Amino acid sequence: LSAITVAVPDAIIPEEKPAILAAADKKVEKVMKNFNRGLISDEERYKNTVEIWQAATEEVSNALSTNLKTHHQRNPIYMMSDSGARGSMDQIKQLAGMRGLLANTAGKTLEMPIRANYREGLNILEYFISSRGARKG
């Protein structure tokens, strides 16, 4: 028999995360400038913003995955996911990466991502968005 204990410090946040979020913020700011100047429609602004944040979320997830695979193979969270016992990379992303984009109750993707993860803790707005989306049906 064997067991693994998981603690909060086992959710290792990728060092690249702040830079990835800052780059995404700059891209979204550029999209907003184009929208405010009338160069793109509201639909294009929405689509571009969602694409930028989806790419940023994926980049944070990839950085987290690479970091765990190369430097933290004995990490209990990674070991459980890698062995197939429990959890997935998507769940680890929410623990240590970022939650990312969520859908509203109508099923439309919100253009404001949840930047935090469960280790960092959600701010009030992020918590409200998360809990509201969890109450569908």
> How many Cβ atoms sit within 10 Å of the Cβ of residue 61?
20
Task: Using CB atoms within 10 Å of the CB of residue 78, give its burial: 0 to 12 exposed, 13 to 18 middle, 19+ buried.
Answer: buried
Give the closest residue to 93 by CA, choosing from 63, 50, 128, 129: 63
Q: Kindly tell me if the per-residue pLDDT of 17 is higher than 70.
A: yes
| 14-134 CATH | 1.10.132.30
Q: Kindly tell me if the per-residue pLDDT of 12 is higher than 90.
A: no
Token pair of 128, please? 């409200």
Q: Which whole number is the average pLDDT over 29-45? A: 98
Token pair of 89, please? 């990379």
Q: Which whole number is the average pLDDT over 63-79? A: 85
For residue 105, what pLDDT is reported? Answer: 80
Q: Residues, the chain, total?
A: 137
Q: Kindly tell me if the per-residue pLDDT of 99 is higher than 80.
A: yes
For residue 135, what pLDDT is reported? Answer: 57
CA torsion angle for 55, 60, 66, 72 (degrees, to 10)? -160
